[in-house]
Structure 1
Amino acid sequence: MEIAHRRVATVHFTLSDDSGQRITTTHGHDPLVYMHGTGTIIQGLEQALEGRQAGDRFSVDIPPERGFGPRHDGLVQRLPRSTFTGRGIPAVGEKLRAQTEKGPLDVVVTAIDADSITVDGNNPLAGRPLHAEVEVVAVRVATPQEIQFGL
């Protein structure tokens, strides 16, 4: 059976960056189980899985626009330290939830100096080309409950 829209695929993968540095892997853990065609995995990987079958192994290069998108400079902001007076000064690397005009946004503190704190709302993988090594473990038809409610 081939991976197609609304079929459930089980895959193992290793995701690396351009330099070959491993970002994440399912090996040694449970494989990824997802419903194909629902946008729950990055577009480049989902497109590469289309039509594959259990037992297939392949590599795919994923450009940023089909991965986690481009970096947006507008999502990086320097804020006055006084913005954080009520709860103390966060540490570099700390994740915070910011309120924006478009709703909540998860940000990471990337720098702190005497006057300001820099936060970044980009996904850490935004703007980065990715490489995936993939093994299709299984493919099956989704149940009516999975189609209605998701996995």
Structure 2
Amino acid sequence: MTIVKNSIATLHYTLKDDAGEILDVADENNPFLYMHGVGGMIPGLEKALENSKAGEKVVVSVAPADAYGERNPNLTQDVPREMFGSIPDEDMVVGAQFQAQTDQGVEIITVAAIEGDTIKIDGNHPMAGETLHFDVDVIDVREATEEEISHGHPHGPGGHQH
């Protein structure tokens, strides 16, 4: 079977940035399952995996426009330390991530800089502006169940369970 809309693919992959640093790994201990064609994966990788079969290897570089987008400078701002309330100082470090309620729902913000009582926060996705280099092994491809299709994601080991 090939990877087409509403198929469930099990992948092992290594994701690197332009400098060759490993950003993420999915392997036999932590495989990645996704349902193809429902928006659960970055568009550039999904397009590269279309029509692949179990046992195939897909190596692809995905530009920011087909991944997490370019960095948007309007998503950074300086806020007062008191906005973080009771978060201990030892947890307020550059790179720390927090959930924030925004007009678009709950989003992840990252602490970009700390200058005294002023915290610079960044609402960009941590991989925004990055070209992503994937080395993917397609482990398995199967048809989604009716329940998975109605929920829009895989169920069972490595997928979402109810």
TM-score normalised per structure 2: 0.84
**3-state SS of 1:10 partner:** strand
Q: Which residue pairs with 2:144 in the alignment?
A: 142
Question: Percent identity between the aligned chains?
Answer: 41
Q: CA deviation at 1:104?
A: 3.6
**3-state SS of 2:74 partner:** helix
Q: CA RMSD in A?
A: 1.7
Q: Which residue pairs with 1:31 in the alignment?
A: 31
Aligned length: 150
Q: Deviations over 1:85-137 (max 9, x none)?
A: x4255612332233434444321112111241111111110000010001111
Provide the rounded CA distance (Å) in 1 between the counterparts of 2:77 and 2:131. 24
Larger mean Cα displacement after TM superposition, 98-107 or 49-58: 98-107
Provide the rounded CA distance (Å) in 1 between the counterparts of 2:80 and 2:144. 50
Q: CA deviation at 1:83?
A: 3.9
Provide the rounded CA distance (Å) in 2 between the counterparts of 1:147 and 1:102. 25
Match among 99, 102, 123 for residue 100 of structure 1: 102
Q: Which residue pairs with 2:118 in the alignment?
A: 116
Q: Which amino acid aligns with 2:81?
A: R
Unmatched segments (≥5 aa) in structure 1: none
Q: CA deviation at 1:28?
A: 4.8
Q: Which residue pairs with 2:92 in the alignment?
A: 91
**3-state SS of 1:74 partner:** helix
2:70 aligned with 1:70, yes or no?
Answer: yes
Unmatched segments (≥5 aa) in structure 2: 155-162
The 1:9/1:100 distance shift into structure 2, 3 A limit, reads: closer
The 1:113/1:8 distance shift into structure 2, 3 A limit, reads: same
The 1:55/1:82 distance shift into structure 2, 3 A limit, reads: closer
Q: Which residue pairs with 1:129 in the alignment?
A: 131
Q: Which amino acid aligns with 1:33?
A: L
Q: Which runs of 4+ in 1 moved over 6 A?
A: none
Provide the rounded CA distance (Å) in 1 between the counterparts of 2:140 and 2:82. 53
Provide the rounded CA distance (Å) in 2 between the counterparts of 1:56 and 1:119. 41
**3-state SS of 1:3 partner:** coil
TM-score normalised per structure 1: 0.89
Larger mean Cα displacement after TM superposition, 111-120 or 69-78: 111-120
